[in-house]
Amino acid sequence: MDIQIAQTILELLRMNTHVKSIIWWVLYLAMVIGLVYGTPKALSYILQSEYPMAAITSRSMWPTLKKGDMVFIKGIASREEIEIGDIVVYQNLQGFTIHRVERKNEGTVVTKGDANNTEDSPVKYEDIIGKTVTFREKPVRIPWLGNVSIALDKK
C-alpha cells in the first residue's frame, strides 16, 4: 500500500512539474507580447509622438545615422521647437524622411541628408512629425535594430 501511495505522489509531482512549465511559458509569452505591444505605446506617451521610433532605411544621413539604425522620435508642439541643425522626421508621398534642417522659412523648412549633395524640396511645418531624441548633441540610435523593421516591411 505504501508503494502505491509513493507512486501516486511521484506522478502528481511530475504532473505538477508539467503544469509549472506550462504556466512559466504562458507568463513568458505574456511578457514578450507585453513588451512588443507596450514598449511602443509607452514610448509614444513619453516622447509625445505617434511614431516614437523609426528605422533608417537609406544612407542619406551617413555618417551620423547609418542604414539599419533605429532612432527615437520626439514629438514637437510648435515650429519654434525646430532649430537649424536638428534632424527631423517628416511625412511625404513616399512615406517618411529623416533629414537635417538646413533653413527655416516662414511656412516651410528646407532639409538635406548629411550625405546628399542637394537640398530636399521645402517641407511644410505641419508635415513634420518630430525630431530625433539627442544625447550630448548626437541622435540616440540603436545600431542594426532598424534592420528588423526594414526586413519586415519588405514582406
Would you say residue 155 has pLDDT above 70?
A: no
For the segment 52-103, what is each residue's pLDDT rounded down to a tens digit?
999 999 999 999 999 999 999 999 999 999 999 999 999 998 889 999 999 9
pLDDT bin (cut points 50, 70, 90) of residue 47 is very high
**Number of separate helices (H) and strands (E) present in the chain:** 2, 10
Amino acid at 142: I
pTM of the model: 0.78
The secondary structure of residue 65, as a DSSP letter, is S
Largest CA distance in the chain: 92
Q: What angle do CA 91, 96, 97 make, to 5 degrees?
A: 100
Q: Which of 97, 114, 120, 99 is nearest to 63 (CA)?
A: 114
